[in-house]
Structure 1
Amino acid sequence: MQPTLIELQRQITALAPMQKPTDQQGFVTLGAERADAALGSALARGALHEMFAAQAADAAALTGFCAGLAQCISGDAGRIVWIRQGFSETEAGPLFMPGLAALGLDPAHIIHVRARRPEDGLRAALEAVRCAALGAVLIELWGMPRSLDLTATRRLALAAEASGTTPLLMRLAAEPGPSVAQTRWQVAAAPSRALAANAPGRPAFDITLLRNRAGASGQRWHLEWDHERKRFRHAATVSGSVAAVPDKRPVPAPVERLARTG
């Protein structure tokens, strides 16, 4: 990890003289009116936000939602550091830069760090969050590592408050635990509406706000990502046929998703 951390420090040092644009300070709107209203009109920058995949199969949805959120936070000119634990990359696959470009992100503005252990990822994350020239830092960890405790989240939150850089903690195969995160979200894949000529629809997400220190929590929304405007928006209900109940076979129980607010 040491050579990787040294290289990350070198790249961060090169960014240090840069200043955030004035519209990058304070808060960021998602673009979805009801979600923004629940957050008190906007999502706080310079604060720790925690995102959970509802199930293992929702890893891609979590990646897409966090990529869009990082774009909202950073803007077109902002730099993003994306830190991924090696096991997470093994299980969920490597980042696909053409896919991120299709979401509206510029791959040239993404600094990708691959950490072998969770401790290494958290150490690199702390270095990155301390850099005020960055827009967002995505920290993708797998499971329930012991190193990701209340103290670790407090360090990230304090560094974010001091620099104004926003860390997004991405959790795969994990459950909510002690954390000082400003908000906590659950992300799942959702059906999308086909575009003209039956073209594939925009990326859609089933989002639940599990925690909101600035207001009420528990709200659930169906959002889609508009890569042209680089904003989320509320998606219309997708109509369609419903699968028939299997004949002479038991109906499987619904899979429970995260419900604890931590």
Structure 2
Amino acid sequence: MATSAVAQEIVFALRQKIARIEGTLPERLARPAGTPSAEETMVLRRHGVTVVQDLLLTGAENFDTALGGGLPKAALTEIHGAQTRDAGAVAGFALALAGLLVKNAAQPKLPVLWIGTHEIFREAGFPYAPGLHARFGIAPENLMIVEAPKLADAMWIAEEAASLKALSAVILEIRGNPHKLDLVATRRLHHRAQDSGRPVFLLRQAAQPEPTAAPVRLVVSPAPAALRWTITGPLPDSIGPPGFAVRIDKSRNALPGQFTLEWNADERSFEERRPDGLGSKNNGAVVSAPFHRTDIAPAAGAVLAFKPATDAAAPRHQPSRKEHAAHRRPRRAG
């Protein structure tokens, strides 16, 4: 039974891949209960054996399609920042991916391990704990931060942590293009992520692309925030969700592409920005539409201001007779 289920998964994933190439709708198959959908799997050849790999769906359909269905969960993924000032956008994008993992995980309380050196945290700062849960759905107690004195220590910790299934994700943040982080070192990280079934996100500040074992490399930079949308259209002088300019620089299953994504903190999902640049397609009303009528309330008409009352017309305060008597009543002495 298990062999038959795996065979159906492989055939279904192959049909999905062929359909994406031909631009046709694939035939649907009956799926075993409890197995991930075909959109969340990828067929790979590993050591001569065909395996089905789980994918992380970001919610942005065109972006996921360009990646071949999504980001691989059990793999090393590089997230680059071309300049040091892009470190905030790179870190926010990685935290959003970690929030997606926590949202869709069977055990959402598995912690996220963030590893960096003294240089990294002095330059870019630490993640802001109070905003983790509100923006990304990550409880502050579920984010473990390791500040290593040297790069070699940070890499050793990342390799050991990548083989643990007790973590939901491992984030290793480095700066530039150090010689120690070569093709052999990234291959070790990638293989350990495959064995544990957990993702490893390699954040690189001010780095240049170089050969690594990561199947996917993304270049992330901040995008200008668009206007927030309501049921009547864009709200003037407002600030919409955080925007990320994401470029697919390397992928084994897709061609390079450029996308502008917005993070929806309420849905904990990415959304693509509208073609007109005014906001995401799904960033709609801030209040629900009326269900008992089709039309919205009409706009307010002219506003009239009444002339304020003058001091002469205003009634003066007149104390009562009791107040006069109380003020004039002689006080007892002794």
- The TM-score range, normalised by the shorter chain, is 0.7 to 0.9
| Matched residue SS, 1:94 | coil
TM-score (norm 2): 0.62
Instruction: Tell me whether 21-30 or 50-59 shows the greater mean CA deviation.
Output: 21-30
Instruction: Note the alpha carbon deviations across 1:65-99, whole angstroms, 9 max, x for none.
Output: 11101111233433210111210111112222123
Which residue does the alignment assign to 1:77?
109
Answering whether residue 78 of structure 2 is matched by residue 40 of structure 1, we say no
The structure with higher relative contact order (CA 8 Å, sep 6+) is 1
- Equivalent pair of 1:191/1:238 in contact (CA under 8 Å): no
**Cα deviation, residue 146, structure 1:** 1.6
The match for 1:229 among 236, 245, 267 is 267
- Equivalent pair of 2:163/2:195 in contact (CA under 8 Å): yes
TM-score (norm 1): 0.78
Answering whether residue 140 of structure 2 is matched by residue 143 of structure 1, we say no
- Equivalent pair of 1:39/1:212 in contact (CA under 8 Å): yes
Which residue does the alignment assign to 2:146?
113
Which residue does the alignment assign to 1:162?
195
What amino acid is the match of 2:268? Answer: K
What amino acid is the match of 2:267? Answer: R
Inter-partner Cα distance in structure 1 for 2:69 and 2:214: 18
Percent of matched pairs sharing the same residue: 35
Instruction: Tell me whether 96-105 or 154-163 shows the greater mean CA deviation.
Output: 96-105
| Matched residue SS, 1:125 | helix
**Cα deviation, residue 133, structure 1:** 2.2
Which residue does the alignment assign to 1:64?
92
- Tell which structure's C-alpha radius of gyration is larger: 2
The match for 2:258 among 197, 207, 220 is 220
Instruction: Note the alpha carbon deviations across 1:16-44, whole angstroms, 9 max, x for none.
Output: xxxxx986982210000001111222211
| Matched residue SS, 1:36 | helix
Instruction: Note the alpha carbon deviations across 1:157-210, whole angstroms, 9 max, x for none.
Output: 110010001000000021111201010000010012233665532111000000
| Matched residue SS, 2:168 | strand
Inter-partner Cα distance in structure 2 for 1:29 and 1:45: 10
Answering whether residue 266 of structure 2 is matched by residue 238 of structure 1, we say no
- Equivalent pair of 1:129/1:156 in contact (CA under 8 Å): yes
The match for 1:193 among 218, 223, 226 is 226
Residue segments in structure 2 that go unaligned for 5+ positions in a row? 1-33, 41-52, 279-334
- Equivalent pair of 2:220/2:246 in contact (CA under 8 Å): yes
- Equivalent pair of 1:133/1:165 in contact (CA under 8 Å): no
Inter-partner Cα distance in structure 2 for 1:202 and 1:91: 25
Answering whether residue 241 of structure 2 is matched by residue 172 of structure 1, we say no
- Equivalent pair of 1:222/1:235 in contact (CA under 8 Å): yes
Inter-partner Cα distance in structure 1 for 2:68 and 2:110: 24
Distance of aligned partners of 1:22 and 1:126 in 2 relative to their CA distance in 1, 3 Å threshold:
farther
Aligned residue-pair number: 218
Inter-partner Cα distance in structure 2 for 1:166 and 1:27: 10
- Equivalent pair of 2:82/2:208 in contact (CA under 8 Å): no
Inter-partner Cα distance in structure 1 for 2:217 and 2:80: 8
What amino acid is the match of 1:50? Answer: E
Which residue does the alignment assign to 2:82?
54
- Equivalent pair of 1:192/1:238 in contact (CA under 8 Å): no
Instruction: Tell me whether 72-81 or 164-173 shows the greater mean CA deviation.
Output: 72-81
List structure 1 segments (4+ residues) > 4 angstroms apart after TM superposition: 21-25, 196-199
What amino acid is the match of 2:144? Answer: I
RMSD: 2.0
